[in-house]
Structure 1
Amino acid sequence: MLKKTYQIWGAALALSVAASGSYAAVSAEQAAKLGTEFTPMGAVKAAQGNIPAWEGDVPAGKGGVGPDGKLLNPFAGDKPKFVITAANYKDYAANLTDGQKAMFAKYPDTYRMPVYETRRTAGYPQEIYDATKKNATASELLNDGNGIANFTEGTPFPFPQTGVEVIWNHITRYRGGSVTRVVGQVTPQVNGDYTLVRFQDEFTFRNELTDFDPATDDNVLFYFKQDVLSPARLAGNVLLVHETLDQVKEPRKAWVYNAGQRRVRRAPQVAYDGPGTASDGLRTSDNFDMFNGSPDRYDWKLEGKQEVYIPYNSYQLKDSKLKYDEIVQAGHINQDLTRYELHRVWKVTATLKEGKRHIYAKRVFYIDEDTWQATEIDHYDGRGELWRVAESHNVYYYDRKVPWYAIEVLYDLNSGRYLALGLDNEEKGGYEYDFKRTYSDYTPAALRRQGVR
């Protein structure tokens, strides 16, 4: 059995920050360690504990893009080292989250975790590395941690000193600059029956707009549009979001186009614990992308680092030969198609502030140190009971140097149902990057024009 490992880097600096109440950037000497002692994104670079050295990419000659435009699995020949089941999970408890343990208890006959060799294969473009090094000495938290100063792209806090800085690294992480994709979402009944909802999503980060004007939307992080393609009863509805950095200073701007009414309306409910689009009540708005939006309703405690078995290099879940019925099963997705590896993660506990409202009273985050992606999140209700378990099945789009998710899954332990988002096995082609948009493409007027067509 592997032993649980906690480490907090820069402890003395963190203590000084806590004592002063300020949010200072790190020194030039510390920033210079990016790319040498640490990876360009701030993770430990050398082998340490049970975690191997950072690779930074898939091995040469591995993978590729198939004739269908989708990535090939560079590790298709790998075999599991062992499988964690309900019968033996207590032997590995030190490297499992409470949510994972609860899944073994809830589904003892079917839930399993195939564990593979750890491969630290996540990398980013050089300009993101350069921006991250610049951010290390420049980016600072504003407004009690609800905003960021001196940040454009990359990771703002490669050497985080507080829990909220780790969360901001997840929220602002690089996802290709601009990307559009067609993906499916399912919310299976207890018996596994489901209806597929298909979305066409697109993100454009502010610096990718061809006409971005900092004076116009200096507080906007990115622009997001989501079209519902099917089923017919939902098709034509569109969500538009201008995602603001400091959402206390300026709440997220959101609009919805209702195809039945042919009207555009403001959508203030698309935030915090407002219901997620077509989610059947199984996720909140801020469950999308594992967590999004303003951090202002929680106190964020940085617990340190821990070695945890997390979904990683989940290429099999992207296989175009698979049908959705082979992935979606009763209770949980088909765990035989998953891949878990032992990785170092940042652990952050979010506790609801006194006087604030949210259906989740506490959330425990496990964020991959190499990508800053939230990969496991345990959600607790107001009674302190574990309620929902979120898992992101990480994948590295090595042709574009973009770490992201194959699918996101949110399990409801009370109802026995779950939500899975990001399915694209039966869709043609892969994700499309580098498309160009103007500010006028992300206005309420553009939604109206789209509805008329």
Structure 2
Amino acid sequence: MKLNKKLIATGVLAASLFAGNAFAAVSAEEAAKLGDTLTPMGAEKAGNGGAIPAWDGGMTEDQIPASYKGDGIYVNPFADEQIKFTINQSNVDEYADNLSPGQIAMIRKYDKYVLPVYETHRTSTYPQEIMDETVENATTVELIAGGNGLKNYQEATPFPIPKNGLEVIWNHITRYRGGSVTRNVGQATPTADGNFSIVKFQDELTWRASLEDYSPTEDENVLFYFKQAITGPARLAGNVLLVHETIDQVKEPRRAWVYNAGQRRVRRAPQVAYDGPGTAADGMRTTDNFDMFNGAPDRYNWELVGKKEMYIPYNSYKLTDRSLSYDEIIKAGHINQDLTRYELHRVWHVRATLKDGERHIYGQRDLYIDEDSWQASIIDHYDGRGELWRVAEAHNMFFYDVKVPWYAIETLYDLLSGRYLALGLTNEEQNPYQFGVEYNSRDYTPAALRRAGTR
């Protein structure tokens, strides 16, 4: 793992902010809570006196299963645990205060959409360097005037003690994912009766500061580079997407290119933003649905509703079990919920409402973001009429050998069509995750797309 400090004087993205101290870093006195009553990442250290335990450092090395081979195929450390209870149609009203409206709607729509609830484990943590930089950021990072950027931002979480909804969202967008990673994953978009085929991707994600030839003066408005090659089926294989994720996407829109293997041409791709169609997703997700939410949030007003306790997917190792086939996971209406795991955790609730005069297929989004990892875990999407439309769930998992909280898979359910998308499947893939892969800037040029695109 290679961590390079950098200062970024350009920006995060536009959004509405609260008045008063919205642009100010927290005081040294408030930041002193980090590592004391708060974890270094900003979560409440204490438990809730019930199902949520105190955070004691997250999963440690001595808790990693001895059978794990360090090959990116993760062994379930909680395989022997039993379900405590199940939330279903018969008792959903009893637990409604700890569920999102979207989860409740899914339970009521599908009798097999149930939530198996297990003991809560606060496994999430980060490398010490990332936690140290997060603590430093608390007193130094500020939103610039207008909310379009960050001042004095260092690699790590910028706002461990957030004061508004945008700061929480920015924590999600910038959260640490290992510096650089290559993954081979599958995506399914089953029909309402459960028929599906798998689209296979090889993704590369590299933070600018993790490049082998990193220079703090080059591409200083770039946060990370992303390259996604379709490797199957044959009719799509060889198409490649390249993204330079700019920090201030209002000042400089995301740079994106696509290589079409059939035409053997590289073209700019301005549609890879906002509600542009997701790659090979059969219309089942927008571009900014990827990673639960990504990109410029300037089309929305962001409200920090508060914190609450919710049953969210967590420690979802069972969904990556190599003994499972995709047929055993992908079912009609939703994934096989018998393979899921839900735990009670505290989340930040942020509401995004579309600004007057702006366009997006989602008029409102309610995001529920895990306090320990800053990962969006549930997002309810509403259409322009204010009707609940799509429900996203991230099945959180801790990649314990590299101290990276991330997702086993992401799901996005369409309540109207009865269809859904599942992204990140690894059960039948070779070399699912490789962290610490060395890349340099020439690997992320438009010219590199032709080399990456093969049939």
Which bin holds the TM-score, normalised by the shorter protein?
A: over 0.9
Q: 2:9 maps to which residue?
A: none
Contact 1:146 1:294 in 2 (8 A): no
**Residues 280-328 of structure 1: CA deviation (Å, up to 9, x unaligned):** 0000000000000011000000011000000000000011111111100
Give the equivalent residue in structure 2 for 1:13: none
Distance 1:79 1:298 in 2: 42
Residue of structure 2 in register with 1:155 after alignment: 157
Give 1:389 shift: 0.1
Provide the residue aligned with 2:35 in structure 1.
35
Residue number among 84, 87, 97 corresponding to 2:87 in the alignment: 84
Equivalent residue for 1:391, pick from 390, 393, 416: 393
1:166 aligns with 2:158: no
Between the aligned partners of 1:335 and 1:249, the Cα distance in structure 2 is 43
Q: Distance in 2 between matches of 1:288 and 1:18?
A: 27
Cα contact 2:261–2:454 (8 A) shared by 1? no
Partner of 2:205: 203
Cα root mean square deviation, aligned:
1.5
Q: Which moved more, 1:65-74 or 1:429-438?
A: 65-74
2:11 equivalent in structure 1: none
- Indicate conservation of the 8 Å contact 2:25/2:138, yes or no: yes
Deviates more, 1:222-231 or 1:204-213: 204-213
Structure 1 length normalisation: TM-score? 0.94
Correspondence 1:112-151 to 2 at 5 A: 112-151=114-153
Residues 184, 431 of structure 2: 8 Å contact kept: no
Unaligned 5+ segments in structure 2 are: 1-16
Instruction: Give the Cα–Cα distance (whole angstroms) in 2 for the partners of residues 114 and 131 of structure 1.
Output: 36
- Give the drift of 1:134: 1.0
Count of residues in correspondence between the two structures = 436
The alpha-carbon distance between structure 1 residues 452 and 275, as it changes in their structure 2 partners (threshold 3 A), is: closer
Task: Give the percent of matched residue pairs that are identical in Structure 1 and Structure 2.
Answer: 67
Structure 1 match to 2:219: 217
For 2:186, what is the secondary structure of its paired residue? strand
Contact 2:185 2:423 survives alignment (8 Å): yes
Contact 1:55/1:119 (8 A) holds in 2: no
2:372 to 370, 373, 391: 370
1:3 paired residue number: none
Partner of residue 355 from structure 1, selected from 344, 354, 357? 357
Relative contact order higher in (CA < 8 Å, ≥ 6 apart) = 2
- The equivalent of 2:53 in structure 1 is 52
- Distance in 2 between residues matched to 1:70 and 1:104, nearest whole Å: 31
Contact map agreement 2:138 2:161 (CA 8 A) in 1? yes
Listed as ranges, the matches of 1:54-453 within 5 Å are 54-58=55-59, 60-64=62-66, 66-67=68-69, 69-107=72-110, 109-451=111-453
| TM-score computed with the length of structure 2 as normaliser | 0.93
Code of the aligned partner of 2:24: A
Residues 363 and 47 of structure 1: CA distance in aligned 2, closer, same or farther (over 3 Å): same
Q: Partners of 1:21 and 1:296 in 2: how far apart?
A: 20
Q: Name the CA distance, whole Å, in 2 between partners of 1:425 and 1:36.
A: 40
CA, structure 1 residues 243+64, in 2 after alignment: closer, same or farther (shift >3 Å)?
farther
Q: Is the 8 A contact 1:184 1:424 kept in 2?
A: yes
CA distance 1:126–1:359, shift in 2 (3 Å) = same
Amino acid at match of 2:104: K
Contact kept, 8 Å, 2:237 with 2:454, in 1: the verdict is: no
CA distance in 2, matches of 1:57, 1:207: 26
